[in-house]
Structure 1
């Protein structure tokens, strides 16, 4: 397949990559490289495999059943108490989580923007409004309000490509030691690396992406014969996202900053070695990462809310616009007034920690059912691999819940 056909057949996969490469991923990968060099690159490979397996299942369910995961969850038969509990848990995790993280996406994009334009902070009777966050939030809202999946896909594909180029150039400028880089693909860790290892996987295997992709494949493909196109779409997108994450880690390993708390600190450290160009590349990458995630987070939340409540999931519908607008609005409120929604993020972390193993386990169960997927159900081997992936999500969930209560 030539490059032209590849782009013609691309689907919503880039939205998944856009969603998991946000400011949080940039920061986690940066700190992983800065603190441990290349030794955790193998963890990125593991996270890519886990994401590929789960996203392929969600896409297959979406195409074969013609329904998104939220609708399937609402319509599932069996114990009503479990169904209601699952619906409430999903709503809590996705709405709270995406509202909290939306503020981080907008603020992260503004940090990248600061490399090119330092947006002023306006003072209203002692209340400070960060203009950059406000403008970026409005831009995300307008892109969602257009009501066109095709427009969103084109914007996000362009941003993902530009973001990828920016981070890959920045990584190439560091001229990494190839032998040490290759050694990073060999699994090994020490106790100090475990929290960062869990964070690396956790920023890639994202619960709301499973809902997002299952819903959006129906906008692109309708027939079971399109399954190979879906698999190619998600494979290209997730692998590209993983390579970009590795590039960010490589950049982090080349820093000269004495104190590092974010990707911006690393880019400033790079300037002393490679000049301002590397810093500009990191700045643009962070801007693009923040903008892509600030679009996909409200979109995913809107699809989940409308799907579970039985409302119209068309992006132009009033329920979708209200749901997406509410998420963007909350994110903007937290970010442009400089509010840090710690309690909300803590609740979201707790809910997502519980949600990830439940949802991943549920879709793995669906994937093994002949009554639902027919000939497209998982084989015994595929189910075994998926269960191993589920065990990883279980560990991630326990770690997320444990960190909230101070167990770890």
Structure 2
């Protein structure tokens, strides 16, 4: 008997939330720019990046499930403490800048829909996200985040309101069109940096730990006999989450290619600018759906960004942490969530250019991704840490290949 959508949604967890959070407002800006500037020419990058996303996120989830500890905690316990703290510091910087950009985009999108002050809306969204993460229990909050993933399908609706040359679009998606110039190379780096981001590794690993603690089940290193069905669950969850993430990204590229690029609009710097540019080209409905999607994806992504910072910092300094704990039981953990979110809000009241902020966030993520992926691979292949549940040879090859791709991309970023 087939399962109903709500039943299937309940079976999915950290992987779905992580994948959906990858399409945050800053990611939407990147995909919109790629579609506006190059048309359908770079749609293939989403299929190219998908297996690398899946493998590294699945390995991150396995680390949490097997060891009962997050990535930062494993770093601190089995490697030099300064390495864990250095990685966490870079993660905090990148996440906070990304938080500011996402919150600002949400405020700008709501101003486009309702009028009023974008900065006031930004403050309101920041407070809403902090209050929800602190005062709603984890089980309820995780359910809310899963239902927020439905907001991503606003971009599917957008595509079906405009004329897309489907044969051309699908051909560009499955057949790579490699153009060796600086603009295309920079766009490729931007796409990889947006889709394979370190905060997602920390979040998925931490949520696997959170889920096991909530159910009261020991880590798999203690009960390796039940590893096979658990690994199958993690893989299914991750494949669905990352698949949805990249499918939505392809639809955003299609939508902006069919409208903005086709109309000669090739320079999009923010997601709200992309939404506003759609208004005279594709009509009020398409504009409103696109703008509403920005807000929905932001409400999903902001807690993930702040939460991944809090988990990483708490694990590095051995603070009590977890979204299942009450405020007074994990004060430093929740303080990190509140402070990082409100600093992100504060960035919107400075002279900091949001586009430049995202650029430097990408630089930090580019610097951070390959080293963090290297450490993840070392942890997952270490028998002292993973016991009998170290990675299989195919997963080792896939994980190291994904790491090499991100290393080359980050080197290319600096060269360009």
- Paired with 1:41 and 1:258, the residues of 2 have a C-alpha distance of 18
Other-structure match for 2:3: 2
Other-structure match for 1:93: 90
- Aligned-pair Cα RMSD in Å: 2.2
Query: Aligned-pair distance for 1:294?
Result: 1.6
Alignment of 1:238-249 (within 5 A): 238-249=242-253
- Paired with 1:341 and 1:32, the residues of 2 have a C-alpha distance of 18
Q: Specify whether residues 47 and 323 from structure 1 end up closer, same or farther in structure 2 by C-alpha distance, changes over 3 A only.
A: same
Other-structure match for 2:224: none
1:226 corresponds to 2:217 = no
Q: Specify whether residues 63 and 252 from structure 1 end up closer, same or farther in structure 2 by C-alpha distance, changes over 3 A only.
A: same
- Paired with 1:63 and 1:89, the residues of 2 have a C-alpha distance of 24
The residue matched to 1:189 in structure 2 has which SS?
Answer: coil
- Preserved contact between residue 270 and residue 278 of structure 1 (Cα < 8 Å): yes
- Preserved contact between residue 85 and residue 316 of structure 2 (Cα < 8 Å): no
1:150 corresponds to 2:139 = yes
- Preserved contact between residue 357 and residue 393 of structure 1 (Cα < 8 Å): yes
Other-structure match for 1:251: 255
Other-structure match for 2:110: 113
Other-structure match for 1:103: 100
- Paired with 1:165 and 1:348, the residues of 2 have a C-alpha distance of 26
Other-structure match for 1:170: 158
Other-structure match for 1:45: 47
- Paired with 1:341 and 1:310, the residues of 2 have a C-alpha distance of 33
Query: Aligned-pair distance for 1:350?
Result: 4.4
Query: Aligned-pair distance for 1:375?
Result: 4.0
1:287 corresponds to 2:295 = yes
- Paired with 2:380 and 2:298, the residues of 1 have a C-alpha distance of 33
Tell me the matched-pair count.
389
Other-structure match for 2:322: 314
Q: Specify whether residues 43 and 90 from structure 1 end up closer, same or farther in structure 2 by C-alpha distance, changes over 3 A only.
A: same
Q: How does the TM-score come out when normalised to structure 2?
A: 0.87
The residue matched to 2:195 in structure 1 has which SS?
Answer: coil
Alignment of 1:200-219 (within 5 A): 200-219=191-210
Q: Specify whether residues 89 and 345 from structure 1 end up closer, same or farther in structure 2 by C-alpha distance, changes over 3 A only.
A: farther
Q: Which runs of 5+ in 2 are unaligned?
A: 221-226
Q: How does the TM-score come out when normalised to structure 1?
A: 0.89
- Preserved contact between residue 103 and residue 330 of structure 1 (Cα < 8 Å): yes
Query: Aligned-pair distance for 1:141?
Result: 1.2
Query: Aligned-pair distance for 1:114?
Result: 2.1
- Preserved contact between residue 33 and residue 266 of structure 2 (Cα < 8 Å): no
Query: Aligned-pair distance for 1:50?
Result: 1.0
- Preserved contact between residue 94 and residue 365 of structure 2 (Cα < 8 Å): yes
Other-structure match for 1:260: 267
Other-structure match for 1:274: 282
- Preserved contact between residue 99 and residue 327 of structure 1 (Cα < 8 Å): yes
Query: Aligned-pair distance for 1:351?
Result: 3.8
Query: Aligned-pair distance for 1:344?
Result: 7.1
The residue matched to 2:113 in structure 1 has which SS?
Answer: coil
Deviations 1:143-179 (A, max 9, x none): 11215222322222222212x2211000122231121
Query: Aligned-pair distance for 1:377?
Result: 2.1
Q: Which runs of 5+ in 1 are unaligned?
A: 78-82, 122-129
- Paired with 2:46 and 2:357, the residues of 1 have a C-alpha distance of 28
1:189 corresponds to 2:192 = no
- Paired with 1:34 and 1:49, the residues of 2 have a C-alpha distance of 25
Q: Specify whether residues 381 and 51 from structure 1 end up closer, same or farther in structure 2 by C-alpha distance, changes over 3 A only.
A: same
- Preserved contact between residue 37 and residue 267 of structure 2 (Cα < 8 Å): no
